[in-house]
Structure 1
């Protein structure tokens, strides 16, 4: 298997959320490790969250499992049932189809790093319980819509 020169990879930002939501993930940067070696069945990212940043809006997936492993720093896992502090060596997983919105938030005063691993289903829908937002992936590609399916302008 090819070695990934992680140090040589650039941190990339952005998520593509529509304008009303984009600020939530400002301060989240990733190195797409799985893409670097051509993985297409699952993704692996090294992710950095700056103080005050969130991993995503609170969400859950219909078809894609997710897993995170904290490398350093401190993150708060926010779910329907409350909040849990995660530190280096802690992990969390999110089973596809479980309607429990989740996100990671860095409420500390220093950056945190974690690995995120997730399935890459060709057809997917993600739900955002706190926001008028849905993510759809199908034969037409990936897009964000309002919950009723109408597109964002």
Structure 2
């Protein structure tokens, strides 16, 4: 069934971060209201003098903004560009899709934020050196990146302990087996 969203049936909630420059109003889980399986979408309103989310890109989600009202400055790896009502902006995955909005005007900028949902995603924040595992919102600093095999040098010893005589028999006895 088709669902039509408009100002009469959308409620907005203000999201204020601990950093005062990041504040916006967002619709209440529109995708969840209609049971969307592969899309996440919200309508956002960015107040004058405020930034959207920190400058970031996604590893496993494409994103699309449709500017519904007002205008804002868009930051991408190519630099700054003004976007206006009626503009549609696509952000591909990876560093070339990095983006952030700033409302440099005196009126709110309202936009549709539409993104794909492929399960897990990783958002990276080049300015602050963080990664975010979504949808869990687990954040880590990229400087903590380690080699894939770090800490794996004890594998042989772990296997030896697991295969020690009597080890397998204890486990069988515990669960009522032979």
So what's the TM-score if we normalise by structure 2? Answer: 0.71
**Considering only aligned residues, what root-mean-square deviation do their CA atoms show, in Å?**
2.2
Aligned positions, number: 143
Which SS does the other structure have where 2:137 is aligned? strand
Which SS does the other structure have where 1:43 is aligned? strand
5+ residue gaps, structure 1, are none
Q: Tell me which of the two structures has the higher relative contact order, counting C-alpha pairs closer than 8 angstroms and 6 or more residues apart.
A: 1
Q: What whole-Å deviation, never above 9, does each CA across 1:96-148 have from its counterpart, x for those lacking one? A: 1244421111010110111110011212111111113211137xx33222224
**Inter-partner Cα distance in structure 2 for 1:60 and 1:98:** 6
Change (3 A) 1:36 1:57: same
Partner of 1:142: 137
Partner of 1:78: 75
After superposition, residues 27-42 of structure 1 pair within 5 angstroms as: 28-31=24-27, 32-42=29-39
**Inter-partner Cα distance in structure 2 for 1:9 and 1:74:** 21
Runs of at least 4 residues of structure 1 off by over 4 A?
none
Bigger Rg over Cα: 2
5+ residue gaps, structure 2, are 146-178
**Inter-partner Cα distance in structure 1 for 2:83 and 2:37:** 28
**Inter-partner Cα distance in structure 2 for 1:98 and 1:133:** 13
Q: Name whichever structure is richer in strand by fraction.
A: 1
